[in-house]
Amino acid sequence: MNILLELLQGFGLTLLLFAITLVMAIPLGLLIAFCSMSKFKVLSVLSRGFVWIIRGTPLLLQILAISFVPSFVFGIPNKAIYVGLGITLSTLNFIFVAIAFFINYACYFSEIFRGGIESISKGQYEAGQVLGMTKRQIFFNIVLLQVVKRIMPPMSNEIITLVKDTSLARTLAVAELYFVAAEAVNIHVSLMPLVYAGLFYLLFNGLLTILFGKIEKKLSYFRS
Amino acid sequence: MPLLTVENITKRFDNLEVLKGIDFTLEKGEVLAIIGSSGSGKTTLLRCLNFLEKPDTGLIKVGDEVLFDAEDNTTFSDENIRLKRLHFGLVFQNFNLFPQHTALQNIEIPQRLLLDSEIKKLKQDHRQYRKSKKLPIRQYFDCLIEQKAQRSQYREDRLIDIKDKSLRLLDRVGLADRADYYPYQLSGGQQQRVAIARALALNPDVLCFDEPTSALDPELTGEVLKVIKGLKSKDSTMIVVTHEMKFAQEVADKVIFMADGVIEEIGTPDEVFNHPKSPKTQAFLANSLE
Ligand SMILES: Nc1ncnc2c1ncn2[C@@H]1O[C@H](COP(=O)(O)OP(=O)(O)O)[C@@H](O)[C@H]1O
Ligand SMILES: [Mg+2]
């Protein structure tokens, strides 16, 4: 019973990381998508280059890299930061992990957003334009919902991958679900904690799958 | 005075000169049919009139208002163009209805969004007014509340008008019973008729059609052509690019035959169809009769 409680705590941290990543990565991803599509060549090249680097290297590496940034780039040891901010080392590590996660996922999302936006036919924009709409109005009233509908399948895939990726947070000893389960295996000399952890992931992803199914169904009232 | 004046419009894409100096005028209530083989620049001309393309040279005038003058850069800012576009309507070859909106909503939404812009402007004016009066705080807020109520009343009234008007337009294109259908539930001919109603809803001075029936199955072109014919009146000025020669002959007051980016021949339907002067026109007509 004790084990389950510990696992539940780990799962809480998993959920927190999941939620922070989603909430931050969606708007940031949209911003990156717009930069990548920008008419200003410099901006779009920089943005696409950045996305290329992030998508081309392991998240694990990015987590470590982020945790090295303060000391190696700014010459401030991590200890100085968490003492200075009055937080614990594990909180600081969690912050590093969260930053790496949302930057990484923002890049993946941005490619999905860009693909979705670019897949909308030029005719939709032009129809809006000749009907006197502003660019904003066209985006929010005409294009957005069509994009949302188109990107739902790849977004659900990515979000389900995110659930499983949260276990990479253990790299900085963040006590998320997998980390807790692996420790419990050592302490209790039993494989059960890992089985339970697997069930947690499975259950949560099951719920997400149902949710995405509902959203896709809701958007099935039109075709484009 | 002509309703529409087009002078020396030219347009090139990279090395391709697509329009090589187009001039014509159109009186109010006239229907102009533009014919010509594919690639002759018909679509590009309509797109220039609707400011989807920026002509390289030339002048576009509606009444005595200059909408576009290539010499004068100030006429081509984003917000300027948006308002100028409202003088023209464009019905596309492939309809371009908004798939997530019903037939009725497709007609309503451009009007609603214009209303939104108008109310936003009204809100600014109201704020200006409040500030200029230098009211004591209590009266200031009373005024604010009253203005807000005024605006929301205005909005409600207008939304009712918009809905009425949109339903009437749907009726006019013969689709009163399809108001709540989504585009994918309509045939091509029905979709195009919704698109026509949508364009009409903004009361453009000149309504342009770019081959409105060429994306349709042959058995559906009739219903669309009939609707367009039915729009002809002394107040509605139209430009129709079409391959339907019989239709052009029946409905047009003026016909332009375009070839390689120039107006090869212009005249009444009788002149152009029955007594074409240019050999190119003769060849084109002979071809299209086959
Ligand atoms: N955006 C564009 N970029 C480059 N070439 C274009 C573009 N739009 C049209 N053209 C070219 O201009 C010519 C005229 O096209 P268009 O106006 O569509 O002719 P039409 O409608 O009479 O068939 C064609 O050769 C076409 O390939
Ligand atoms: Mg064309």
pLDDT digit string (tens) for A41-57?
999 999 999 999 999 99
Confidence of residue A1 (pLDDT cuts 50, 70, 90): low
Ligand 1 nearest-atom number relative to CA B13: 4
Q: Which residue of A has its CA nearest to B199?
A: A131
pLDDT for residue B75: 63
Q: Which residue of A has its CA nearest to B110?
A: A131
CATH classification (class only), A2-108+151-218:
mainly alpha
Chain A 94-153, CB below 8 Å of chain B: which residues? Answer: 121, 123-124, 126-135, 137, 141-142, 145-146, 149
User: How far, in Å, are B38, B228, B263, B289 from residue B281 at the CA level?
Assistant: 14, 25, 10, 12
Domain boundaries, chain A: 2-108+151-218
Contacts for B289 with CB less than 8 Å, ≥ 6 apart: B245
Q: What does the radius of gyration of chain A's CA atoms come to, in whole angstroms?
A: 21
Q: What does the radius of gyration of chain B's CA atoms come to, in whole angstroms?
A: 22
pTM: 0.91
Judge whether A224 is closer than 8 Å to chain B, CB to CB. Answer: yes
The complex scores an ipTM of 0.94
* Helix (H) or strand (E) run with residue A202 in it: helix A192-218
Contacts for B187 with CB less than 8 Å, ≥ 6 apart: B220
pLDDT for residue B137: 87
pLDDT > 70 in chain B, percent:
99
Per-residue pLDDT of chain B (290 residues; tens, 9 = 90+): 899 999 999 999 999 999 999 999 999 999 999 999 999 999 999 999 999 999 999 999 999 999 999 888 776 777 888 999 999 999 999 999 999 999 999 999 999 999 999 999 999 999 999 888 888 889 889 999 999 999 999 999 999 999 999 999 999 999 999 999 999 999 999 999 999 999 999 999 999 999 999 999 999 999 999 999 999 998 899 999 999 999 999 999 999 999 999 999 999 999 999 999 999 999 999 988 76
